[in-house]
Structure 1
Amino acid sequence: MLIKILGGGCKNCQNLHKNTLEALETLGVEAEVVKVEEINDIMAYGVMKTPALVIDEEVKVMGRVPKAKEITKILKEYI
């Protein structure tokens, strides 16, 4: 599983990254988590508002920071 955190490195982006790692730990699942900070790369996903959560090249959340519990629920679709 490849998870991408899209955003410029702001506090919300950092919180999304932290919550994603917490969700993975809760599930006991390993995944590659990558931060994408280049604006052109972010826009290639059609994301106009960050932060965004992309799982296996599918945008799942954008423009807000979901709690770890919500991310856990989303990740269960992929395991």
Structure 2
Amino acid sequence: MASYEETLKVTVEILKKHMDKERPVAPGDHIQSDLGLDSLGVMEVVADIEERFEIAIPSDVLANLATVEDVVKALQKLQSV
């Protein structure tokens, strides 16, 4: 399992690929309101994350992902299963 810092780094790299504007990304940033991703963009990010980490994110988990940190914590939990 990757460390929190490694998971955060990869997650931020994936998010930046889908963002329109170049800006710093912090763990507390809201994926839609702060980073400007719409629902389609979020689904593209999820697909890239699932591919990169070789996991499937269940829909009940997806429904609770609002911030970058939420994503990283969910990935950490899913990787430990």
TM-score of the aligned structures, taking structure 2 as reference length: 0.36
Q: Between Structure 1 and Structure 2, which shows a larger proportion of helix residues?
A: 2
TM-score of the aligned structures, taking structure 1 as reference length: 0.37
Q: Between Structure 1 and Structure 2, which shows a larger proportion of strand residues?
A: 1
